[in-house]
Amino acid sequence: MGIRETLEKKKSLTVVAMVVVIIGSIIAIIVQARGLGPVGPGDAFYTVDDGKTFFVGDAKNLPPFDQGGKQAVTAHVFECGGKRVVGYVSRYTADALATIAEAKQARAAGRLPANVAKLATVAQTGSELKRPGDTKWVITGNNNAANKIRIFKCPDGSVPPEVYPDK
């Protein structure tokens, strides 16, 4: 029996599995929006000058945000030859920030967000990234273009892991 036949026979199990996936996606997005992503609660790197310099800030900040009158975005930092450099920067779109704000308000009110379907797509369609010096931002859902940006190479050709603020 194939997958299609199994899914047809066990429709209730299929519905339960889909609900679990959707709820898991919503939880992941809310956790990310609260700043509990890969760095955990605490700090992240940000930049206000397109990656020339970077600073440590609260990971709960959703970029872009105002930092001393300038727009701060997340700085994705890598180490090459003992020196930390910004490989690329990222931010949320204005629409994604509004969607996340609606979800936070709903959570604060003790209810599920009304925009669940839209919230589930924020990670793919609501965030953008670019390399320092580039003028064009790329939507993370554009996998080919986004992956070319995410894969950072040092001048020696090595591909280092991203580094995070010391805890």
**Within 10 A of 7 (CB to CB), how many other CB atoms are there?**
12
Average pLDDT, the chain: 84
DSSP lists the bridge partners of residue 163 as: 77
**So what's the pLDDT on residue 115?**
79
Sign of CA dihedral 15, 16, 21, 26: positive
> For position 89, what pLDDT does the model report?
98
**Long-range contacts of range 98-104, CB-CB < 8 Å, 24 or more positions apart?**
99/126, 100/29, 100/33, 100/62, 103/29, 103/30, 103/33, 104/30, 104/33
Cα distance between residue 84 and residue 142, in whole Å = 27
Q: Which residues contact 21 (CB under 8 A, 6 or more apart)?
A: none
Residue-wise over 78-103: b if at least 16 C-beta within 10 A, else e? beeeeeebbbbbbbbbeebbebbeeb
Q: Give the C-alpha separation, 148 to 95, whole Å.
A: 24
> pLDDT at position 33, please?
46
pLDDT score recorded for residue 34: 43
What pTM value is reported for the model? 0.73
Taking 50 as the pLDDT cut, the residues of the chain under it are: 31-39
Residues 69 and 34: their CA atoms lie apart, in Å, by 23
Q: Is the dihedral of CA 50, 75, 105, 26 positive or negative?
A: positive
The answer to whether 103 and 30 have CB atoms below 8 angstroms apart is yes
